[in-house]
A and B are shown apart, each in its own frame.
Chain A
Amino acid sequence: MRLSYEEVEHIAELARLNLTEDEKRKFAEQLSDILDYASRLDSLDTSHIPPTASVLDIYLRLREDESQPGLSRDQVLENAPATKENQFKVPPVFGE
């Protein structure tokens, strides 16, 4: 399992990561090594094995539909790099 430079570029795009040329070359090699190592899982027959997403028997815990205190608007916004009129401010979304 070898990842090409182009595949690395595609994954970086999906992950919204700007990588340098050097990083792309290095990751192509390192991720290929890791995936090679992971391919040893292919030797196991898991056709009748159910997957484990969580070790717990997950169930949906319900509560009464009552309002509870939460963070104030100021608290929610206080870590944002830019705000305007009590909202998060971002660069233009359209017309990129």
Chain B
Amino acid sequence: MRLQQRKTNSKSRRFLVNRMPDLTQLTISEALTGLRSRDFSSQELTAAYIQRIEELDPKIHAFITLTPELAFEKAGIADQMLAAEDRELPPLLGLPIAVKDVLCLANVRCTCGSKILENFIPPYTASSVSRLLDAGVVPLGKTNTDEFAMGSSTENSAYGPTRNPWNFEHVPGGSSGGSAAAVAGGMAPAALGTDTGGSVRQPCAFCGTTGIKPTYGRVSRYGLIAYGSSLDTAGVIARNAADTALLFQHMAGFDPLDATSVNTPVPTYQLPDSPDLHGLRIGVPDEYFLQGIQPEVESFVKAAVTQLESQGAVPVPISLPYTEYALPVYYIIAPAEASANLARYDGVRFGPRLGTEEGLQEMFKQTRGQLFGSEVKRRIMLGTYALSAGYYEAFYGKAQKVRTLIKEDFIRAFEDVDVIAAPVAPTTAFKFGQHSDDPLAMYLEDIFTLPANLAGIPGLAFPVGYDKNGLPIGMQLMAPPFKEDLLFRVGHAYQLATEWHNKKPSLPTMDNQLK
């Protein structure tokens, strides 16, 4: 870290602030160390991020709502606590983060990327967010998402798409594309995302960030606005595995407010000091290296496995034979659950309402018909059909049974290996509009991320290379339930030995601006 020594004299301190290196480039552990030793204040750190957002976000559009007043209020409180020095301080005190706009933050608008919630101000905070607020974080704002987290590109956001910081003509991935772009663009050191079918991992792959999709039940879903309740998880996107683990530590854990929260202790995530991986068995599934996958994705992911092998790990060829069925199973189960969850948007308790003159039923239909976007309506229709009389057993019932087979694939595989390595997505970030009007082609982008959601297992995505156009390539490691600690250890060991995660898109930096 290049920070200069702390000066006590206020004049020299002001001088120091002006000469300070770009605070937005610090890792989370560097930022926390700097805050603790009072090299800079939380308000200065927050101001640096807000300034960067003001400069960059008009081009990237990672945020739907910014919360600078709330951020400076929290940062001011953090600075007072840091100055007092005489008590035990919350572990993430003064650290700014961004929050995906499907996780509720009390008294801040939460849109879910939808017109139907354009004026919704939740009166409560999601448990995943409130745990981090208790740990001292400073919320910078709410990030863009495909409407109700349904999509793989942020093109389904009612507030306009987010641009990929690596190339503005390409999508950032989705649905947590705003969070991944905010982190990749240096507008937040970390951001919360959600992953129902790949929505943390795929944008991480497209934006060159690191992110965790946790075990189902590991992080509370209370205050995560529901899409597919048996699949929804809340995770973290950051610049590397160590930062991801640092945040995830304070987000995970049992919550009585979520009926599917699992009461299993959260271990203290210990990261290795050395890249040594001796004894680790890495499963490499044939089914994830299909024909049609972008050749560079295949070669860089295989090179990453070779890299892990050079650190002592043992690659083991494995088979997950039901992989190809994950897509049809997911696109029956998730829309079915969505059609039930989204029934609540009827113009009665929240959101705008339309068609009131024509009676209650017309109000429901017009409000929903006009304020939901195409993809949301498509999935509600699909789910309604799959659950309707005469088709329930053929579609929903069948999909639930094949889900069992997919879950058993992983149980069998983890008898022989510790983790499974695979590409996150078959291609690097695609261009805007490439899949518009062909929903099935868009769904195919999710083929490698869906199985982990159906099986409920954790996955860590991180960059392992760049294609010839300079776009990031992501690999995911999957582990048995509640083995996030193993994913963080392997991811960190890989990042100790490699530099991919340190590569940054060429965007204006504040260092440049100050010259």
* A interface residues (Cβ-Cβ under 8 A, vs B): 3, 8, 11-12, 14-19, 23, 27, 30-31, 33-35, 37-42, 44, 46, 49-56, 58, 61, 63, 71, 75-76, 78-82, 88, 90-93, 96
Contacts and interface: CB of A to CB of B under 8 A. Distances in A.
The size class of the interface chain B forms with chain A is 35 or more
Given A53-B230, A82-B353, A93-B360, A16 B325 contact: no
Contact of A90 (B327, B352, B360, B368): B360
A96 B360 contact: yes
Interface in B435-479: 439-440, 443, 454-456
B375 to A, nearest CB: 10
A88 B402 contact: no
A41 to B, nearest CB: 5
A56 B407 CA distance: 11
Contacts of A76: 123
Given A23-B374, A56-B456, 11 more contacts: A11-B381, A17-B377, A18-B366, A23-B377, A38-B328, A41-B399, A49-B402, A56-B217, A78-B123, A90-B363, A91-B357
Contacts of A93: 360
B365 A56 contact: no
24 contacts: A11-B381, A15-B381, A16-B365, A17-B368, A18-B355, A23-B374, A33-B439, A33-B440, A37-B331, A37-B440, A38-B328, A41-B325, A44-B405, A49-B404, A49-B405, A52-B454, A55-B216, A55-B454, A88-B348, A88-B349, A91-B356, A91-B357, A91-B360, A96-B360
9 shortest interchain CB distances as A-B pairs? A18-B369, A55-B456, A51-B400, A46-B401, A79-B350, A75-B123, A18-B365, A38-B328, A96-B359
Contacts of A55: 216-217, 230, 407, 454-456, 481
Contact of A34 (B262, B331, B357, B359): B331
B200 interface: no
A80 B260 contact: no
Nearest to A3: B385
B137 to A, nearest CB: 24
